[in-house]
Amino acid sequence: MSTATATPRQGPLLGLRVLEFASIGPGPHCAMLLADLGAEVMCIEREGGNGWPNPVVDRGRKRLTLDIRTDAGRERCLALAEGADVLIEGFRPGVMERLGLGPEQVHGRNPRLVYGRMTGWGQTGPLAKRAGHDINYLAITGALAAIGNREGPAIPPLNLVGDFGGGSLYLAFGIMAALWERERSGQGQVVDAAIVDGVSSMMSFFAGLLPSGAISLERDRNLLSGAAPHYRCYTCADGRDIAVGPLEPQFLTELMQQIEAPESLREGCNDPTQWPELSEQLAALFASRTQADWCSLLEGTDACFAPVLTLEEAAQHPHMQQRGVYRDIDGALHAAPAPRFSRTPGSIRVSEDAWGWD
């Protein structure tokens, strides 16, 4: 374990200035992504913070505590916005306008600024001003209905798909697209990043395959939801889990040969009516050995295999260690900046930098 130290800012976004208004979830994660790649991020937070302090997601910023409801606080924010390239906020629609910090007010001071708005429902629509969380946004997009077991209700997949997949990543993508366009027009604009939009975009793969029947989103017939015997997790003799996913015929053959499965198992995976029975047979087979035994046999092959690891175990896996995916800093696991760049790599910066911005 290492201790946080000052790290030079570096990365392809060096020189980009981001003004972030503290929030929870996807907004801070987007700011972290930008900071990891070299952006200077100034986070405006209220007295006492947001109630969710997070040493990993909150890394790489300078923080300034302001009461933005006051004239002095508002003017300070507008002055900071004058020197910024990007603004990120995650309030309900209309809040920033009431505070005097909406796009019209800010663009009056800095017309080149890219104004990033992160919400669940979006800036418009009947639900725009209603409360919600990741599970609700997934539910309304059609994604949640396809996730879970054959019996029982749908199962939320942490908040990876909504908050961070359809949220922060689409906000970051939108910000970079707006910055690219600004190079031609010289003008900033508003980026309305809604989780319901992002998740719906992520569902495009499935929407494109449904008409042809190449895939089903019914949980008991969905090839990618855990219903298929060759794309799911199994529990081993020691109670630990493994994941197998050989969708292609050559990889399925590799798995079946390695585990010495009977011919009936090899031939039935393309028939959804046989999936429940075949899954039971594979469950019994995989339960005959420990997770370590299966790792010894299958890791490094084309069987599309991996052990199911905890976060702490993942950081110690040889592949993850060789790539330096995680770094333990002051007892917290920090993921390396992603994606990676050949000439201008990003960096994990935990300590605040003493840079001025007025």
For position 31, which CATH number holds? 3.40.50.10540
pLDDT one-digit tens code per residue, 30-57: 999 999 999 999 999 998 777 788 999 9
Query: How many domains in the chain?
Result: 2
Q: What is the pLDDT of residue 351?
A: 60
* Burial class of residue 235 (count of CB atoms within 10 Å of its CB; 0-12, 13-18, 19+): middle
Task: Give the model's confidence band at 189: pLDDT under 50 very low, under 70 low, under 90 confident, else very high.
Answer: very high
How far, in Å, CA of 240 to CA of 294, rounded? 11
Q: Is residue 319 part of a domain?
A: no
Chain-centroid distance, C-alpha 283: 31
Task: Assign residue 240 a region (left: φ > 0; alpha: ψ between -120 and 50; beta: otherwise).
Answer: beta
In the numeric block, the tokens 């961070």 are attached to 164
Q: 176 with 284, same domain? A: no
Whole-angstrom CA distances from 186 to 17, 83, 116, 212 are 16, 15, 17, 45
Q: 301 with 186, same domain? A: no
Residue 211 scores a pLDDT above 60 = yes
Shortest CA distance to 101 belongs to which of 131, 144, 71? 71
DSSP one-letter code for 301? S
In the numeric block, the tokens 């374990």 are attached to 1
Task: Give the model's confidence band at 150: pLDDT under 50 very low, under 70 low, under 90 confident, else very high.
Answer: confident
Percentage of residues in the chain with pLDDT exceeding 70? 96
How far, in Å, CA of 253 to CA of 249, rounded? 6
Q: What is the pLDDT of residue 4?
A: 58
Q: What is the pLDDT of residue 357?
A: 59
Q: 85 with 165, same domain? A: yes
Q: 35 with 180, same domain? A: yes
Residue 354 scores a pLDDT above 50 = no
Q: 197 with 51, same domain? A: yes
The residues carrying an active-site annotation are 133, 163
DSSP one-letter code for 120? S
Q: Is residue 356 part of a domain?
A: no
Instruction: Report the greatest alpha carbon distance in the chain.
Output: 75
Q: What is the pLDDT of residue 306?
A: 98
Q: Is residue 343 part of a domain?
A: no
Pairwise pLDDT comparison (149 vs 193), residue with the higher score: 193
Residue 300 contacts by C-beta under 8 Å, 6 or more apart in sequence?
Answer: none
In the numeric block, the tokens 């980009």 are attached to 16
pLDDT one-digit tens code per residue, 246-289: 999 999 999 999 999 988 887 888 899 999 999 999 999 999 99
Domain that holds residue 279: 232-313
Q: Is residue 110 part of a domain?
A: yes
pLDDT mean across residues, the chain: 94
How far, in Å, CA of 163 to CA of 135, rounded? 9
Residues in the chain: 358
Q: 236 with 158, same domain? A: no
Q: 68 with 123, same domain? A: yes
Determine the average pLDDT of the residues in 70-94.
97
Angle of the 169-185 helix axis to the 26-36 helix axis, nearest 10: 60
Is the Cβ–Cβ distance between 236 and 287 less than 8 Å?
yes
Percentage of residues in the chain with pLDDT exceeding 90? 88
For the four alpha carbons of 113, 118, 124 and 129, in that order, the dihedral sign comes to negative
Q: Is residue 354 part of a domain?
A: no
Q: What is the pLDDT of residue 286?
A: 97
Q: In what order do the strands lie in the sheet with 241-244?
A: 232-235, 241-244, 305-307
DSSP one-letter code for 352? P
Q: 91 with 153, same domain? A: yes
Q: What is the pLDDT of residue 267?
A: 82
Q: 331 with 296, same domain? A: no
Residue 273 corresponds to which amino acid?
T
Residue 356 scores a pLDDT above 70 = no
Residue 353 scores a pLDDT above 60 = no
Q: Is residue 224 part of a domain?
A: no
Determine the average pLDDT of the residues in 83-103.
97
Residue 197 contacts by C-beta under 8 Å, 6 or more apart in sequence?
Answer: 122, 166, 170
Strands 305-307 and 17-21: unpaired
Q: What is the pLDDT of residue 321?
A: 96
Determine the average pLDDT of the residues in 181-210.
97
pLDDT one-digit tens code per residue, 294-350: 999 999 999 999 999 999 999 999 999 999 999 999 999 999 999 999 999 999 987
Q: 159 with 245, same domain? A: no
Q: 102 with 175, same domain? A: yes
Q: Is residue 340 part of a domain?
A: no
Q: Residue 151, SS3?
A: coil
How far, in Å, CA of 232 to CA of 225, rounded? 8
Q: Is residue 108 part of a domain?
A: yes
Give the CATH number for residue 245: 3.30.1540.10
Q: 239 with 121, same domain? A: no
- List the Cα angle 99/105/111 in 5-degree steps: 145
Residue 306 contacts by C-beta under 8 Å, 6 or more apart in sequence?
Answer: 242, 243, 299
Is the Cβ–Cβ distance between 53 and 27 less than 8 Å?
no
